[in-house]
Amino acid sequence: MRISRLPYSIGGLVKIRQLDLSECKEIEELPDSIGELQSLVELDLSSTSIDHLPDSIGKLKQLKVLRMSNIRGITKLPSAIGLVEKLEELDVRGCCNLTGEIPKEIGGLSCLKILNLSDTRICILPTMVSHLSTIQTLELEKYSELEQLPELPQSLTCLTWSCKKYWGSSKETHYWHVEEYWQEQNRAHEEHEPEEYWHVAPKACLGIDIPLPTRIGAPSQQETLVMTLPTSISSLSQLKTLKLCCHNVQFLPQLPSSLRELQLRHLATTRSPDFSYLKDLSILTFFECSLEFSRIFDAESEELHIELCEFREVDAPLQLEMKRLRSLEMANCKFLPEVLDLSCMKNLEKVDLGYCLSLVEIRGLEELGSLCSLTVFECPSLERMSDLSKLKKLPKLRVHYCGKLNKEEIYWNYWNGEFGGDICNVGGFDLSSVLDESKIDAFFGRLSPTIGASNATSTSAVVS
């Protein structure tokens, strides 16, 4: 049943606690009687066609959740929003015509915990935001025109801020991760996918030339704003998650020592940030950054993700000493040193290296006694890897499109000793004496007819 409008009599539903009108695209306005719903706790107006909220919204004294994402007609919020005394969550993400300044009355929402202004054109946050003593999550991501942050409340535990504006086709997609890019390309070409390809890899499996963008996520027309990070950000003693898109930021102020997750995008600086004091840091992510990384590797994080980054002023070999690190992922990174040494990272359990075009050698793998998964793909300059025969806990080894590697030697070292093998031929390399077909669970390319997914076990090796 289509709902094109709400009757004025809806105000008589005084005991209703939840009203979900999301995706009712024909609803263009709310009756003033909406304010009579004295028991209403949750209101979802997402993806409707309303162009304003009635002032009577301020009468909803029990309302805790107001969701109104992806409403194109909304251009401003009424000041009456500050009268919704028990509001805990306000979500207006994707309201692309919501412009200017949010009402200062929002500072009166003493119970507010979540404020999501992502994908809007809000350009000013009132200083009253600092009065939101209970707020925990502030989302200001993607297309936000906000150039400067005011003083922030001490209660914040999660802050996401990106102040880049894009002009161009609304269909343009920003890919924050290379994997997302390839998934999208694979979906676009899935009609070309042969049945025997269990996992589609770029170009080689599809037989289609799909070039990786030199700058993923950068539309042809863009305007970059200058971000100003308040130095007072270091005083946010409860902040656990910080995600920043750092266009035109040359210097990072001191960050809160309470951080557990830090994500930096588009940071370009000649100074290496010092993260050694972030003792609680668990996840550290860099995306499309250009900086001197040496002091960054003093951070005590457990997961490190580096994508589309340029390493500057690093003496070869690049030796990582993050002793707590358990997971390392690098993709599309430009190495000035040609050697990556992992020997000091004794607790590493997972290593993924992809599209590192200038990487020639990976050292220290034999020292990683806890390594459970090793994936190396699209590293065409890679010539040497460590002896893998000592890695008794390594059940998954995947090496794809690294044309200069001696793959037979790698797999002999990997399988020699603990593992025996039966006859099979993989990717043109005769590994019949060292490779058991039952240990293959994935392959970027055509398989031998004797190898099937039904035989897959928890131990796997893949060569292509």
> Can you tell me the mean pLDDT for 193-200?
33
User: Is-contact 301 329, C-beta < 8 A?
Assistant: no
How far, CA to CA in Å, does 307 sit from each of 199, 249, 290, 332?
Answer: 21, 19, 11, 6
**160 vs 415: CA distance, rounded Å:** 45
Given this model, what pLDDT does residue 94 score?
Answer: 94
Q: In the chain, what is the straight-line distance between the N-terminal and C-terminal CA atoms, in Å?
A: 54
Given this model, what pLDDT does residue 1 score?
Answer: 56
- Output the DSSP codes for 239-263: --EEEEE-TT---PPPPPTT-SEEE
Position 459 pLDDT exceeds 80: no
State pLDDT tens for residues 243-300: 988 776 667 788 999 999 999 988 877 677 788 888 899 999 999 888 776 667 667 7
Q: Which residues pair with 111 in a beta bridge?
A: none
Given this model, what pLDDT does residue 297 score?
Answer: 67
Q: What are phi and psi of 397, to 5 degrees?
A: -130, 125
**23 vs 210: CA distance, rounded Å:** 36
Q: Which residues pair with 180 in a beta bridge?
A: none
Angle at the Cα of 134 from the Cα atoms of 165 and 243, rounded to 5 degrees = 35
Q: Which residues pair with 91 in a beta bridge?
A: 67, 116
> What is the number of alpha carbons within 13 Å of residue 129 lying toward its C-beta?
20
Assign 399 a pLDDT band (cuts: 50, 70, 90).
confident
Sign of the CA dihedral running 45, 46, 48, 53: positive
Assign 123 a pLDDT band (cuts: 50, 70, 90).
confident
User: Is-contact 268 252, C-beta < 8 A?
Assistant: no
Given this model, what pLDDT does residue 125 score?
Answer: 87
Position 435 pLDDT exceeds 70: no
DSSP H helix total and E strand total for the chain: 2, 29
State pLDDT tens for residues 311-356: 765 555 666 677 889 999 999 987 656 888 898 888 999 999 999 8
Assign 463 a pLDDT band (cuts: 50, 70, 90).
low
Assign 74 a pLDDT band (cuts: 50, 70, 90).
very high
Would you tell me how many other CB atoms lie within 10 Å of the CB of residue 454? 6
Sign of the CA dihedral running 376, 380, 382, 387: positive
- Output the DSSP codes for 59-117: G-TT--EEE--S-TT-----GGGGG-TT--EEE-TT-TT-EEE--GGGGG-TT--EEE-
**240 vs 354: CA distance, rounded Å:** 29
| Mean per-residue pLDDT of the chain | 75
Give the lowest-confidence range in 67-71, 256-260, 385-389, 437-441.
Answer: 437-441
pTM value is 0.76
Given this model, what pLDDT does residue 260 score?
Answer: 95
Domains of the chain as residue ranges with CATH: 1-156 (3.80.10.10)
